[in-house]
């Protein structure tokens, strides 16, 4: 066993100071991802800063927004009355993730920050630029069935594994952060990074910065929403492709749409051009097919994930049909 120190501060500032000052310190919340990575030797923090005593679990209305504390459990968010009423797309995405047991441990902050599920990242015997910068990417020529078709680089082709993140980017959420230099707000679309030349850096969070909450502003996407996830098994499986679809409909015409895709890129992949196309169009399969064609522009697959080029548009069309049909 590799030794590490463990502290459990009661105040956010103490947690932030500890992680900011110590290069080897990390926050731990539910532990469902970090402990796995530590057991396999992929991550080796020398100090764990347990944040579970911090007062960050509330789900409440705040200045017209819905504010979800970073320590709110995935299951608590998915079952919360305010979330079910105002942001059912988020509840659907959360319920599509992991298993009931994991959702009872996993927190919102930890879910946002979870690391990629590329099998080479977990396998210390193989090169991986994300685990060891400069060592190479085994997935490029390897078994890349789960990997990206958008936004990849020759340094990394892994995908962001979170379901929740796909709904949050579609809903234009904002991540609230406290750090050594104070508080700041990061639009969800800017929180995660594409791999580029620095695939070891997943997000734009700085060392010592603590996610304190996520805000979702008031929006018209309560009724016509659907999160559709295609995976190898019904539970305990990450998305091959998933789609978060939200429509504002009036008399069969789309006033506006919000769309994002999962399982396809290193970050939650927002489909802005397809959204713009759908505005003002009738909510028909023909419109959805055209939107899907637009959404897939620029996609580039690898040897084992060619199927995502067909699966992607089909999941998008079905998610939109389901959303439009929802009562």
Ligand X SMILES: Cc1cc2nc3c(=O)[nH]c(=O)nc-3n(C[C@H](O)[C@H](O)[C@H](O)COP(=O)(O)OP(=O)(O)OC[C@H]3O[C@@H](n4cnc5c(N)ncnc54)[C@H](O)[C@@H]3O)c2cc1C
Q: Report, in Å, the least distance between residue 81 CB and ligand SF4.
A: 39
CB-nearer residue toward ligand SF4: 67 or 267: 267
Q: What's the token pair of residue 277?
A: 């196309």
Please state, in angstroms and rounded to a whole number, the distance separating the CA atoms of residues 26 and 165: 21
Q: State the binding partner of 241 from ligand X, ligand SF4, none, CB within 5 to 8 A by kind.
A: none
Contact range with ligand X by CB under 6 A, out of 136-144, 155-163, 244-252, 308-316? 155-163
CB-nearer residue toward ligand X: 22 or 248: 22
Q: Is 202 helix (H, G, I), strand (E, B) or coil?
A: coil
Q: Report, in Å, the least distance between residue 25 CB and ligand X.
A: 9
Give yes or no for residue 244 binding ligand X (CB under 6 A): no
Q: What is the DSSP string of 44-87?
A: --SEEEE-TTSS---EEEETTEEEEETT-BHHHHHH-HHHHHH-
CB-nearer residue toward ligand X: 72 or 278: 72
88, 161, 208, 263: which one contacts ligand X (CB under 6 A)? 161
Q: State the binding partner of 312 from ligand X, ligand SF4, none, CB within 5 to 8 A by kind.
A: none
Tally of CA atoms within 13 A in the half-sphere of 296 that contains its CB = 21
CB-nearer residue toward ligand X: 104 or 256: 104
Q: Is 289 helix (H, G, I), strand (E, B) or coil?
A: helix
In what helix (H) or strand (E) does residue 215 lie, and over which residues does it extend?
A: strand 210-216
118, 211, 271, 319: which one contacts ligand X (CB under 6 A)? 211
Give yes or no for residue 160 binding ligand X (CB under 6 A): no
14, 105, 311, 326: which one contacts ligand X (CB under 6 A)? 105
Residues 6+ apart with CB under 8 A from 208: 16, 17, 19, 20, 21, 179, 180
Residue with token string 């996520």: 214
Q: What is the DSSP string of 172-187?
A: T-EEEEEETTEEEEEE
Q: Is 313 helix (H, G, I), strand (E, B) or coil?
A: helix
Give yes or no for residue 70 binding ligand X (CB under 6 A): yes
The side-by-side arrangement of strands in the sheet containing 59-62 is 59-62, 65-69, 210-216, 174-179, 182-187
Contact range with ligand X by CB under 6 A, out of 25-33, 124-132, 241-249, 284-292? 25-33
Q: Report, in Å, the least distance between residue 307 CB and ligand SF4.
A: 18
Nearest residue to 170 via CA among 98, 87, 283: 87
CB-nearer residue toward ligand SF4: 157 or 323: 157
Could you tell me how many residues of this chain bind ligand X (CB under 6 A)? 31
Contacts with ligand X, 220-239, as mask; x by CB under 6 A: ----------------x-x-
Where on the chain is the footprint of ligand X (CB under 6 A)? Answer: 26-34, 36, 51, 70, 97-98, 102, 105-107, 109-111, 113-114, 161-164, 210-211, 236, 238
């Amino acid at each position: 066993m590799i030794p590490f120190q463990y502290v459990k501060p009661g105040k956010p500032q103490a947690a932030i100071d500890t992680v900011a000052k110590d290069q080897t310190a990390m926050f731990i919340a539910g532990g469902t991802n970090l402990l796995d990575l530590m057991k396999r030797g992929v991550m080796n923090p020398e100090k764990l800063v347990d944040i579970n005593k911090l007062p960050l679990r509330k789900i409440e209305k705040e200045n017209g927004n819905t504010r979800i504390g970073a320590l709110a459990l995935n299951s608590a968010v998915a079952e919360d009355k305010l979330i079910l009423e105002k942001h059912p797309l988020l509840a659907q995405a959360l319920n599509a993730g992991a298993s009931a047991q994991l959702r009872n441990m996993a927190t919102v902050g930890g879910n946002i920050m979870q690391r990629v599920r590329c099998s080479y990242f977990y396998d210390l015997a193989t090169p991986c630029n994300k685990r060891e910068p400069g060592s190479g990417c085994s997935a490029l020529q390897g078994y890349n069935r789960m990997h990206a078709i958008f936004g990849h680089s020759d340094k990394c082709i892994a995908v962001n594994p979170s379901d929740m993140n796909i709904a949050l980017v579609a809903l234009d959420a904002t991540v609230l952060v406290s750090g050594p230099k104070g508080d700041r707000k990061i639009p969800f679309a800017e929180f995660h990074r594409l791999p580029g030349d620095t695939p070891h850096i997943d997000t734009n969070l700085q060392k010592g910065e603590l996610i304190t909450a996520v805000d979702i502003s008031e929006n018209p996407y309560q009724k016509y929403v659907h999160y559709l996830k295609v995976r190898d098994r019904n539970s305990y499986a990450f998305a091959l492709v998933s789609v978060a679809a939200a429509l504002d409909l009036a008399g069969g015409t789309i006033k506006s749409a919000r769309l994002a895709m999962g399982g396809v890129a290193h970050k939650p992949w927002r489909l802005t051009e397809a959204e713009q196309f759908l505005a003002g169009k009738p909510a028909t399969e023909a419109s959805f097919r055209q939107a899907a064609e637009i959404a897939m522009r620029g996609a580039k697959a690898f040897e084992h994930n060619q199927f995502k080029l067909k699966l992607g548009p089909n999941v998008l069309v079905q998610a939109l049909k389901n959303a439009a049909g929802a009562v």
